[in-house]
Structure 1
Amino acid sequence: MSQKEYEAYYVPAESPWPFMGACALFLIAVGAGNLVIELTRDKEGYGGYTLIAGFAALIFMLFGWFRNQIHESMSGLYSAQLGRSYRQGMAWFIFSEVMFFAAFFGALFYARTISVPWLGGSSNNQMTNEVLWPAFQAMWPLVETPGGIKTQAMPWTGLPLYNTIILLVSSVFCHMAHVALEENKRKQILIWLGLTVLAGSVFIFLQIEEYIHAYTDLGLTLASGVYGNTFFLLTGFHGLHVTLGALILLILWFRVLKGHFTPDNHFAFQAGSWYWHFVDVVWVMLFFFVYIL
């Protein structure tokens, strides 16, 4: 690469958005942690308000940062080298998300294959069952806690199955939008991308309905032992990722409406597409390991 191309590498000015994003994530972490404690102990607090404030700050930060990025891109400030940097950055970001969900799937694996058999009194630990929990039965899902709290497992049929179909279809919609962009068919891009956002919104709505059903009809709550904890952590964090992905695609839809992107220059669209396919794959794994097995 020539010296001139290196000099063309764009370095943006100082920005407040990373700091604001860090503050928003801090509020989300604190709010979510306190909200879980409040729900499990059935007491009131400020966890929910802190969580909402964190999400509001995060959304504001995303819109502000995206606005700056869009202005820089449309002004022709980005070089080919910077484009490669963005691709590498997005790839590492998705890899970090893979590791994030791998930790929760690992916790589920540990609880099911190690902790539950151990409590049931495995061949190497015959006295555990009689001493710690005499009435315990080593089975999954664990629908009864030592405190006597009983619940029901969430079946894979009904809302979970509908949501799986919706996300799989939305992935097809997103791919069709990408194909339309490569063929420069603007109207088709808006249709397919709009359907993707709509499908994501329906998924979120149905997941809220599923949570209401779990709490009111099944007695499945965050206080329902390790099964309830792993169920809500995995599905809840995935729902947050779907929400973020839908917001990203919505912004891309408005950008397409304004005439942004060309068949040769549309990495932002590619990045949003990569992220959406990623959350779809995670849900398929989640549906299999959490709902079916």
Structure 2
Amino acid sequence: MSTTEQQTAYFIPEPSPWPIIGMVSLLTTLIGAVLAMNSVAVGKFIVIAGLLLFAYLLFGWFRDVISENLADSYNQQVDRSFRMGMFWFIASEVFFFLAFFGALFYIRNVALPWLGGEGYLSATREILYSQFDPAWPSQGPGALGGDFTPMGAWGIPAINTLLLLSSGATITWAHWGLKQDNQKTLIRGLTATIALGLLFVCFQAYEYFHAYAELNLTLQTGVYGSTFYMLTGFHGFHVTMGAIMLMAILGRSLKGHFSTHNHFAFEAVAWYWHFVDVVWLGLFIFVYWF
């Protein structure tokens, strides 16, 4: 194909096994997680198998896309498609987290007051549980979830907020270096962002250990425990995936794959990382603070 044809023709890749492998890996991981949470011994091994398959997926799919990019297979039309695809992917992630934030809002501001006797359902309190305390955080009627200590905003959550906000600054610094064709700034900014992201994950892992071992804050601790781990756990997963993508971008940067006019892969990961930062601010305010 001539250069002119490459510039006008829309690139169509060869049939790929990666979407199917991705589906199988995620399904395997989720099934294993459900089994593990229900104390089925084989569950943790299924989770490990699913994660290993997912790691293989990332390596193989990244390799293929990078090879296509280096072969100059993508023109401006493909670049626009990539940007639109990343935009809609992040939009879907926004609605994903909005669903959980909405559930948290409904529980705290609608369901608990109703169960406590407010509004038109006040008559049902005597029928359901007359001693129910509608205060948040709630472990359910009759202390169903057991006594626990809520996770405070200050300490590790505040430190993690500082880490993620700092990582937003370092990824912007790296982007600035790339646009200035400054390889050292690009590498330093990416390295700092990855380090801050991994440190965030380590602090969150310690926070979970502390919550289980000392605060009795578990997935079984009523609606507070389940919403806490659902929101922070999914966010931690997104930070981990963002750090992995940043590592891939760092590797490509070290090999000189990006130029001032051809670096959408970097921009896509930077968009994703900023999205993760914004979600954490919402978590810190509505899950930890209020």
| Pair in the same fold by TM > 0.5 | yes
Compute the TM-score of the two structures, normalised by the length of structure 1. Answer: 0.94
What is the 5 A alignment of 1:1-293?
4=5, 8-36=9-37, 38=38, 43-143=39-139, 145-146=141-142, 147=144, 149-293=146-290
Which amino acid counterpart does residue 75 of structure 1 have in structure 2?
A
Does the aligned pair in 2 maintain the 1:31–1:48 contact within 8 Å?
Answer: yes
Farther-moved stretch of structure 1 (166-175 vs 56-65): 56-65
Distance (Å, rounded) in 1 between the aligned partners of 2:131 and 2:44: 37
The count of corresponding residues between Structure 1 and Structure 2 is: 286
Flag the 1:88–1:286 CA change in 2: closer, same or farther, 3 A. same
Q: Report the alpha carbon displacement of residue 201 of structure 1 after superposing the two structures with TM.
A: 0.3
Gaps of 5+ in 1: none
Partners of 1:193 and 1:249 within 8 A in 2: yes
The CA deviation at 1:25 is 1.3
How far off is 1:98 after superposition?
A: 0.5
Contact in 2 for aligned 1:144/1:151 (Cα 8 Å): no
Q: In structure 1, how many angstroms separate the alpha carbons of the residues matched to 2:149 and 2:140? A: 9
RMSD: 1.5
Give the drift of 1:7: 5.1
Q: 1:125 to 1:90 in 2, by over 3 A?
A: same
Q: Which string of whole-angstrom CA distances, capped at 9 and with x for unpartnered residues, describes residues 55-79 of structure 1?
A: 2211210111000000110011111
Q: Which whole-Å CA distance do the structure 2 matches of 1:45 and 1:127 have between them?
A: 45
Deviation at 1:6, TM superposition (A): 7.8
- Secondary structure of the residue aligned to 1:136 is coil
How much does 1:148 deviate? 5.8
Give TM-score, length-normalised by structure 2.
0.95
% identity of equivalent residues: 45
| Matched-pair contact (CA < 8 Å) for 1:145–1:224 | no
Distance in 1 of aligned mates of 2:217 and 2:92: 30
User: What amino acid is the match of 2:147?
Assistant: K
CA drift of 1:4 comes to 4.9
The answer for unaligned runs of 5 or more in structure 2 is none
